[in-house]
A = this chain, B = another copy of it.
Amino acid sequence: MVVLETAGAMLEASRRWRVEGRSIGLVPTMGALHAGHLSLVELARGENDIVVVSIFVNPIQFGPGEDFERYPRDVARDTGMLARAEVDAIYEPPVEVMYRHDSTTRVHVGAVAEPLEGEKRPGHFEGVATVVTKLFAAVEPDRAYFGQKDAQQVAVVKRLTCDLDLGVDVRVGPIVREPDGLALSSRNVYLDAAERKAALALSTALREAATVYASGERDPDRLQAVLEARLRTEPLVKVDYAEVVDPATFRKPGTLAVLAARVGKTRLIDNHDLTEPFPG
Binding site for B on A (CB under 8 A): 7-8, 11, 15, 18-19, 21, 100, 103-112, 129-130, 133-134, 137-138, 140, 159-160, 162-167
| B105–A159 touching, CB < 8 Å | yes
User: A142: shortest Cβ distance to chain B, in Å?
Assistant: 10
A162 to B103, CA, bound (A): 8
Q: In this complex, which of A103, A137, A159 has the most chain B Cβ atoms within 10 angstroms of its Cβ? A: A137
- With a CB–CB cut-off of 8 A, which chain B residues contact A130? 164
Cβ of B160 and Cβ of A105 under 8 Å apart? yes
Of B108, B129, B166, the contact of A137 (CB 8 Å cutoff): B166
Show 9 A/B contacts (Cβ-Cβ < 8 Å), sorted by A.
Answer: A7-B165, A15-B18, A18-B18, A104-B110, A105-B108, A105-B109, A105-B163, A106-B107, A137-B137
- Known A-B contacts A18-B15, A19-B19; A104 and B159 likewise in contact (beta carbons under 8 Å): yes
Contact present for B100 and A104 (CB under 8 Å): no
> Which residues of chain B are near A100, meaning CB under 8 Å?
162-163
Are A167 and B104 in contact, with the CB atoms below 8 A? no
A92 to chain B, nearest CB (A): 14
Given contacts A7-B167, A100-B162, A140-B140, 7 further A-B contacts (CB under 8 A): A8-B167, A19-B19, A104-B112, A105-B107, A106-B110, A108-B108, A130-B164
Taking a contact as CB atoms closer than 8 A, the residue among B8, B104, B108, B134 that contacts A106 in the complex is B108
